[in-house]
Amino acid sequence: MFFILTLTSLIVHSNNNIYTNIIDKLAVGGIILYGAYMLYTKMSFEKFLEISLIVSTFFICIFLYVYGYCTESFCYHPEKEIGNLYHSFLHFIASLGHHFIIFLV
pLDDT tens digit string along 49-98? 999 999 999 999 999 999 999 999 999 999 999 999 999 999 999 999 99
- pTM score of the predicted model: 0.89
**Is the pLDDT at 105 greater than 90, yes or no?**
no
Other CB atoms within a 10 A radius of the CB of residue 99 amount to 12
Number of neighbouring beta carbons within 10 Å of residue 104: 17
| Of 57, 78, 75, 79, the residue nearest 66 (C-alpha) | 75
Work out whether the CA dihedral 9, 87, 66, 35 comes out positive or negative. Answer: positive
For range 20-43, the mean pLDDT: 96
pLDDT digits (tens, 9 = 90+) for 32-63: 999 999 999 999 999 999 999 999 999 999 99
What Å distances lie between residue 100 and 36, 58, 82, 97, CA to CA? 12, 11, 27, 5
Dist CA 34 CA 63 (whole Å): 20
Closest by CA position to 91, among listed 43, 55, 57: 57
